[in-house]
Amino acid sequence: MLTELNLGNNIFEEVPEQLKYLNSLQKLHLFGNKIATISPTIFDGLEKLTLLNLNNNRLKYLPPEIHRLENLEYMSLNNNQIGSIPKELCSLEKLSELHLSYNCLITVPEEIGYMTNLRMLCLSRNQIEVLPDGLCKLRKLRILDVAGNRIWVFPTLMEDLLLMGLKELYCEDNPLLQKQPVCAIQEEEMLSLTEMTARFILRELNEKDSVLQTAVKQNQEVGKLLSKKCVCAVCGQAFLTTRLECVCFMHVKQNMKISRNIHLLPVRKLICSFQCFNLRDHGFFGVAES
């Protein structure tokens, strides 16, 4: 009964479809080939797979059917040409290590937060500009490597991730915001009718207005719109789209392993109005465009 197979450093251009008949296979190494595509049917017979290594190939995408590898615990796809992470990959709840360094990623899906057993996430040397709030739901995450991307600020819930036990953070070679005061001009706020209505409804929903809650549930379009709400970091009130992009600077814990010369982490914060922004002692800074 074959449980481990090493086909690394060969000249395969695709994953051999015959592998799907190896129903007992648990570890599969295909690193160092010329694989550019993966047939979706290959996953049909590999339900017992716990480790998959496809480093150093020519993959540009992953098929959605990858979610069938429901027992996968370790996946490494370093040094490929992958442009996006399929949201279906995020349904692999047993995955504890995911390596996607040296690819062509621009975004990370919000669904990354569904990978509840993830302990190590390596996304270094890509082209990622924004990290999703979903990342901060990974309660078991201990190592995060996002070095060498285009990240200028961390997600709003980054503090939660640090409090939940993140031990190592590598973020060097990113254009992280620096704490440098500049003069700013405050323009008079003019909220749209949609924004004013949304803020009123969200405020009433927060008061548990049962009539309004029923009405929103019956209107899917309104419910979908309101689901995109944000919460003001100062007053705690919900709003929709009109906001001030701000940042706070978090001190790194002393016992945390982090990139050299990084002592403050810029964390994204959203504020609903200049009225809240002008309140004293909240520790948030407006973001200046260069």
88 and 46 part of one domain? yes
166 and 204 part of one domain? no
pTM to 2 decimals?
A: 0.88
Pairing between strand 120-122 and 143-145? parallel
256 occurs within a structural domain: no
Q: Is the dihedral of CA 273, 276, 277, 278 positive or negative?
A: positive
pLDDT in tens, 78-95: 999 999 999 999 999 999
Q: Check residue 72 and give its pLDDT.
A: 98
128 and 83 part of one domain? yes
Q: Check residue 130 and give its pLDDT.
A: 96
Residue 174, classified by CB atoms within 10 Å of its CB into exposed (0-12), middle (13-18) or buried (19+), is buried
120 and 218 part of one domain? no
CATH value at residue 150: 3.80.10.10
141 and 9 part of one domain? yes
150 and 211 part of one domain? no
Q: Check residue 137 and give its pLDDT.
A: 95
Q: Is the dihedral of CA 31, 33, 37, 41 positive or negative?
A: negative
217 and 164 part of one domain? no
Q: What radius of gyration, in Å, describes the C-alpha atoms of the chain?
A: 23
State the total domains in the chain: 2
What is the rounded distance in angstroms from the CA atom of residue 59 to the CA atom of residue 82?
6
264 occurs within a structural domain: no
Q: Which domain holds residue 233?
A: 193-239
Q: Check residue 187 and give its pLDDT.
A: 64
What is the rounded distance in angstroms from the CA atom of residue 117 to the CA atom of residue 94?
6
91 and 225 part of one domain? no
Q: What does residue 239 show for φ and ψ, rounded to 5 degrees?
A: -150, 175
Q: Which residues in the chain come in under a pLDDT of 70?
A: 179-188, 209-210, 216, 222, 242, 288-290
253 occurs within a structural domain: no
260 occurs within a structural domain: no
Encoded tokens for 289: 């465009």
What is the rounded distance in angstroms from the CA atom of residue 154 to the CA atom of residue 108?
13
19 and 162 part of one domain? yes
223 and 93 part of one domain? no
265 occurs within a structural domain: no
What is the rounded distance in angstroms from the CA atom of residue 157 to the CA atom of residue 233?
11
157 and 227 part of one domain? no
58 occurs within a structural domain: yes
Q: Check residue 272 and give its pLDDT.
A: 87
Q: Check residue 207 and give its pLDDT.
A: 73
Please say which residue of 110, 135, 170 terminates a domain: 170
27 and 159 part of one domain? yes
Strands annotated E in the chain = 4-6, 27-29, 51-53, 74-76, 97-99, 120-122, 143-145, 168-170, 230-231, 238-239, 244-251, 257-258, 264-271, 285-286
